[in-house]
Structure 1
Amino acid sequence: MEETTLAVTVVVPSLLAKVTGDQRELRVPVEDGATVAQVLDRLAAEYPVFDRRVRNELGAVRRYVNLYVDGEDIRGLDGPATRIGPGQELLIIQSVAGG
């Protein structure tokens, strides 16, 4: 991802960092009015395996993946249509099942 001041910081969990070149933070260029889905689309173009781990084949966020814009769960906002702008943070948390 290119470095720019008009960017969203995407925080990647350690489980997914191996498919982003071991990067835990990605800067994704955005314009005002961008959505979480558009940020994910930009990431998908550069990291297709990452995208398959975050979204299903229909483009929906997988149920075990939680996305937060500045600490707010997008499920309580507008989902992937949630607006996100320059300077904001998109935190991705991938649930881990076990027992």
Structure 2
Amino acid sequence: MSVKIRIPTPLQSATEQQAEVQAEGATVGDLLSDLESRFPPLKARLRDDSGKLRRFINIYLNDEDIRFLENEATPVKESDEVSI
């Protein structure tokens, strides 16, 4: 399913200046993987060398921090909105 992802201004250089993109996946992690495959420079900005999200990167699902949900395993539905 396709979910809207909002990209903050500092990361838009890695998404061809797009402030919003659509990504496919059933979980937040799937969405991020889809984004990283379509916009390879984004991966280095979001993840450290071990592949974990950088500590200063916050991901929100409908304004709720995913750290208080199921992190990257948090399921998404088409009406959801993800913000980085």
**What TM-score range do you get, normalising by the shorter chain?**
over 0.9
The equivalent residue for 2:17 is 22
The equivalent residue for 1:10 is 5
**1:8 deviation in Å?**
0.6
**1:70 deviation in Å?**
0.4
The equivalent residue for 2:72 is 80
Structure 1 runs of 4+ with >6 Å offset: none
Aligned positions, number: 84
- Over the aligned positions, Cα root-mean-square deviation in angstroms equals 1.1
**1:87 deviation in Å?**
2.0
1:76 counterpart letter in structure 2: F
Larger Rg: 1
Q: Which runs of 5+ in 1 are unaligned?
A: 1-5, 93-99
**TM-score for the superposition, normalised by structure 2:** 0.92
Q: Which runs of 5+ in 2 are unaligned?
A: none
More helix per residue: 1 or 2? 2
1:45 counterpart letter in structure 2: S
**TM-score for the superposition, normalised by structure 1:** 0.79
CA-to-aligned-CA distance 1:2-22 (integer Å, 9 cap, x gap): xxxx41100000000011000
